Amino acid sequence: MNALQGKVAVVLGASAEGGTGWSIAEAFARAGAKVLVAARTQEPLVKLAARIGGTAVACDAGDEGQVKRLAETAVRTYGRVHVAVNCAGLPVQGTIAEVTRQQLQDGVNVNYFGHVWFIKYLAEAIGSDGAIVIISSITSTHPDQNFVGYACAKAAANCLVRYAALEYGPRNIRINAVLPGPIDSHMARETFQDPRMRRAFEREVPLGRIAQPADIADAVLWLAGSAYATGLDLHVNGGMQLRRMPRLDELPGGADSYGEGLPLGDRAPARGPVE
């Protein structure tokens, strides 16, 4: 029997059509789960909910009160939650010399504090016997000098997952992080249409190709099912963790071109780093 059939899943950061969160929500629905999707951007979210027969809820991932209300809405709508996934992310572009206090604070609010609130309130909604997955980043373990604020906040989120796995393990709530590399989503199509940009990333991936959103969704479904795993920082990037991120001088256009259109979750603007 499908481990997700009839379960309730919450996916935050799912408003980018064809993106990672969107694909994860669709995968849960195909697996027979009831899916509540959430994001700041409401219009595409409503489209996704209609497509998968789910529920759409507005939620800013960096706002503790809104994340708490998201969890309460899920319980009120479906009775309980079994699985929760946080895909939302906010890029902070720049080096240490360039970054401002405000940029760092904005990034930490979503990329670290947002995961704290998500785990805290969605674990409460789950109660026991469930799973929480956060989408982190390869940049949290493999330096990318142009996104230091983003990467450091994601590294803190990885540490959070280990502490949360210990805290919620006695309630059989499994908590893991997925660390993607670059993802060839709809948002990144224009970037990766440049064969020089595509080659710069693909040569650092042992499997020889950039991920599709479905690759990340497959890993999330495994972690959300009956997997005997918790506290993982799971690299899902074709083996890119065995190599490195491309240097800025290896990219066409250098730092000025890096990040255009690359997917980062619900809160990503037009320019953002790879996952």
Nearest 5 degrees, angle CA 23-CA 28-CA 32? 145
Residue closest to 48 by CA, chosen among 83, 20, 85, 81: 20
In Å, how far from its chain's centre is CA 252?
27
Q: Is 76 strand, coil or helix?
A: helix
pTM of the model: 0.91
Contact 262, 207 (CB under 8 A): no
Q: Residue 33 — very low, low, confident or very high, per pLDDT cuts 50/70/90?
A: very high
pLDDT digits (tens, 9 = 90+) for 46-77: 999 999 999 999 999 999 999 999 999 999 99
Rg (CA), the chain: 17
Residue closest to 154 by CA, chosen among 166, 142, 169, 167: 142
pLDDT of residue 264: 41
pLDDT of residue 258: 52
pLDDT of residue 93: 85
Beta bridge partners of 176: 133
pLDDT digits (tens, 9 = 90+) for 113-137: 999 999 999 999 999 999 999 999 9
pLDDT of residue 189: 72
Q: Phi then psi for 219, rounded to 5 degrees?
A: -65, -40
For the ranges 48-57, 86-95, 182-191, 223-232, the lowest mean pLDDT is seen at 182-191
- Beta strand 83-86 with 55-58 is unpaired
- Beta strand 130-135 with 83-86 is parallel
Q: At what angle do helices 20-30 and 213-224 cross, to 10 degrees?
A: 50
From CA 158, how far away is CA 2, in angstroms rounded? 29
pLDDT of residue 180: 95
Residue closest to 199 by CA, chosen among 246, 156, 151: 246
From CA 156, how far away is CA 162, in angstroms rounded? 10
pLDDT digits (tens, 9 = 90+) for 229-273: 999 999 999 999 999 988 878 888 665 555 543 444 444 443 333
SS3 letters across 50-63: HHHCCEEEECCCCC
Q: Residue 225 carries which DSSP code?
A: T
pLDDT of residue 146: 85
Q: Per the structure block, which two tokens stand in for 83?
A: 């699985």
More confident: 2 or 29:
29
From CA 2, how far away is CA 93, in angstroms rounded? 41
pLDDT digits (tens, 9 = 90+) for 149-187: 999 999 999 999 999 999 999 999 999 999 999 998 876
Contact 274, 262 (CB under 8 A): yes
pLDDT of residue 257: 55
- Arithmetic mean of pLDDT over the chain: 90
Q: Catalytic residue numbers?
A: 150
Domain boundaries, given as residue ranges, for the chain: 8-256
Burial class (CB in 10 A: 0-12, 13-18, 19+), 96: exposed
Q: Which CATH architecture has domain 8-256?
A: 3-Layer(aba) Sandwich (3.40)
Q: Per the structure block, which two tokens stand in for 24?
A: 């994860």
